[in-house]
Amino acid sequence: MVTLAAATLYPLQKYREQGRSIEQAKQELFELEQLRLDLETRLERAQDKTIIKREARKQMSLVEPGDELFRVVVPADVIDFPKGWYLPGVEYLIAGKSG
């Protein structure tokens, strides 16, 4: 009798485990599809020349002919760049000092 109960319950337990595993896989698939859609959108935006220009102006201070460029001079003792600052020219542009 015990053997019969064990033989009946074991497949049921495996069936439930597989069901949980399938649900987890479906959730993971859904999350990966959302990530893929997000990355595709970002890739499309990255190929848009208007967005490229806007980001270059914002992140890299791109100027074009006809633009007015202003230089903000801040006293050197106000700005303290961290050691290993990776854009040494910025220190000169902002504080008017080098090195």
Count of domains for the chain: 2
Are the C-beta atoms of residues 97 and 77 closer than 8 Å to each other?
Answer: no
Q: Do 89 and 41 share a structural domain?
A: no
Q: Do 58 and 12 share a structural domain?
A: yes
Q: Do 58 and 29 share a structural domain?
A: yes
CA 76-78-79 angle, to 5 degrees, is 75
pLDDT tens digits, 11-21? 777 777 887 88
Structure-block tokens of residue 48: 């848009």
Which residue range is the domain that position 75 belongs to? 69-99
pLDDT tens digits, 34-45? 999 999 999 998
- What predicted TM-score, i.e. pTM, was given to this entire model? 0.43
Q: Do 81 and 54 share a structural domain?
A: no
CA-CA distance, 87 to 60, in Å (whole number)?
Answer: 11
Is the pLDDT at 98 greater than 60? The verdict is no
Q: Do 97 and 74 share a structural domain?
A: yes
